[in-house]
Amino acid sequence: MSETLKRTPLYDRHVALGARMVPFGGWDMPVQYSGIIDEHNAVRKAAGLFDISHMGEFEVRGPDALAFLQHVVTSDVSQIGEGQASYALLCHPNGGIIDDLFIYRQPDGYMIVANASNIEKDFAWLLEQVVGFDVALTNISDQTAMLALQGPLSESILARATDTNVIDLPFHGITTGTLFGSIPAQIARTGYAGEDGFELFVANEHIEQVWDSLLALGKDDGLKPCGLGARDSLRFEACLALYGHEIADDINPYEAKLGWVVKLNKGPFIGSEALKQIKEAGVTRKLVGFEMVGRGIARGEYEIHNTAGERVGYVTTGMPSPTLGKNLGLGYVPLELTKEGSEFDVIVRGKPVRARVVKTPFYQPRYKK
């Protein structure tokens, strides 16, 4: 195993729990503990705890923090109320997606959460754009640990771990509080599983205690440690995009069905000219969800052919859905194949296997709103 892989502060805990460790975005991360399906079901029915300390966190402070964020992301950051958070996209001037982010509004500024594999790319990009803005930009990724507590029982588990009123914390809300009496934490009602749940930001030195205490506290509720395998299958069923798959530098938000994150009326921002033109001209390909009709499992990068046998697109993510019991996939196809019921072939090991476009999300998220 490569020496250069980074480890989260919970690495020893994962190994002790018998997790299978795999390289992911430069990190040595747990892909599973008890098994992907078991962990997946725990999150849908009870709760799961994920170490997502590999994710990047940047602080944006200073008088121009809002103006700067309005300049670099596609969403309207002025609409994020105090104690609220919002999904956003960072785009190239040509409209291609650099990364997807979560922006949390804090009392003294903003915190950005970015994908682990994009931390350096995003931070360098933001530093290039900051010229002319009175903003302090700090990459706090290496000091900040992050956990995701996800699933229908996560609220009742977390309520027993903190004096902070998490029951009334709204969807996409964030608050400062303490965990287990004295550990400072930022608690947000956000996640990536299509369930109610929370994300917790804690300094590295306290994270082992929080991890151990939460697992002990939730044991009788069915709380399980969960790896990146279940994180992927859960977000896939809810059709939440993953950088490097549904979104990438050569994919624009309209193709990715993320037009709702692009607010062209908020004023100019990086990529706004190109995105306006793309929106007016219309896209030629779009992300669709599909179900395999024939026997076979679609996987990322498999080719998609039309029924005449011509290569017309590709799969971004595919797997057997643990919750729905079907072989499902997401992929890019030309507009004429995006209608529900449209059929095409996924090329599985050289053989065409029929697939049919279905409604997305495959699994309707059950957020507490």
> Whole-number minimum distance, CB 32 to another protein, in Å?
6
Q: Give dist(CA 293, CA 353) in Å, integer.
A: 7
Residue whose C-alpha is closest to residue 21's, from 230, 228, 235 = 228
- For residues 263 and 87, is the Cβ–Cβ distance under 8 A? no
Please state the length of the chain.
369
- For another protein, the binding residues in 56-75 under the rule CB under 8 A are none
Task: Report if residue 294 touches another protein, rule: CB under 8 A.
Answer: no
> Whole-number minimum distance, CB 258 to another protein, in Å?
25
> Whole-number minimum distance, CB 305 to another protein, in Å?
19
Task: Report if residue 317 touches another protein, rule: CB under 8 A.
Answer: no
Stretch binding another protein (CB under 8 A), from 193-201, 227-235, 259-267, 303-311: 227-235
Q: Sheet holding 85-91: strands in order across?
A: 85-91, 97-106, 109-114, 56-61, 136-139
C-alpha neighbours within 13 Å on the C-beta side of residue 68? 25
Task: Report if residue 16 touches another protein, rule: CB under 8 A.
Answer: no
Strands 183-188 and 197-203: antiparallel
Residue whose C-alpha is closest to residue 54's, from 132, 136, 138, 115 = 115
Q: Which is nearer to another protein, 29 or 36 (CB)?
A: 36
Q: Which is nearer to another protein, 21 or 179 (CB)?
A: 21
The SS3 call for residue 75 is coil
Q: Which is nearer to another protein, 320 or 361 (CB)?
A: 320
- Kindly list the distances between the CA atom of residue 163 and the CA atoms of 146, 159, 166, 181, in Å, as whole numbers in the listed order: 19, 7, 8, 8
> Whole-number minimum distance, CB 138 to another protein, in Å?
35
Task: Report if residue 316 touches another protein, rule: CB under 8 A.
Answer: no
Task: Report if residue 345 touches another protein, rule: CB under 8 A.
Answer: no
Q: Give dist(CA 234, CA 193) in Å, integer.
A: 5
- Of 23, 26, 244, 320, which lies in the binding site for another protein, with binding defined by CB under 8 A? 320
- Of 203, 248, 274, 297, which lies in the binding site for another protein, with binding defined by CB under 8 A? 297
Q: Which is nearer to another protein, 12 or 142 (CB)?
A: 12
Q: Which is nearer to another protein, 50 or 133 (CB)?
A: 50
Q: Which is nearer to another protein, 141 or 233 (CB)?
A: 233
Q: Which is nearer to another protein, 282 or 325 (CB)?
A: 325
Task: Report if residue 222 touches another protein, rule: CB under 8 A.
Answer: no
Task: Report if residue 2 touches another protein, rule: CB under 8 A.
Answer: no
Q: Give dist(CA 322, CA 36) in Å, integer.
A: 9
- Of 92, 266, 276, 299, which lies in the binding site for another protein, with binding defined by CB under 8 A? 299
Q: Give dist(CA 214, CA 203) in Å, integer.
A: 16
Q: Which is nearer to another protein, 62 or 294 (CB)?
A: 294
Task: Report if residue 188 touches another protein, rule: CB under 8 A.
Answer: no
Sign of the four-CA dihedral 291, 296, 297, 300: negative
> Which tokens is 263 given?
């607010």
Per DSSP, 192 falls in state S
Cis peptide bond prior to 322, omega within 30° of 0: no
Task: Report if residue 368 touches another protein, rule: CB under 8 A.
Answer: no
Residue with tokens 């969403």: 75
- For another protein, the binding residues in 232-261 under the rule CB under 8 A are 232-233
Q: Which is nearer to another protein, 6 or 61 (CB)?
A: 6
Residue with tokens 């996409």: 172
The residues that touch another protein, with contacts defined as CB under 8 A, are 1, 20, 31-32, 35-37, 40, 229, 232-233, 297, 299, 319-320, 322, 349
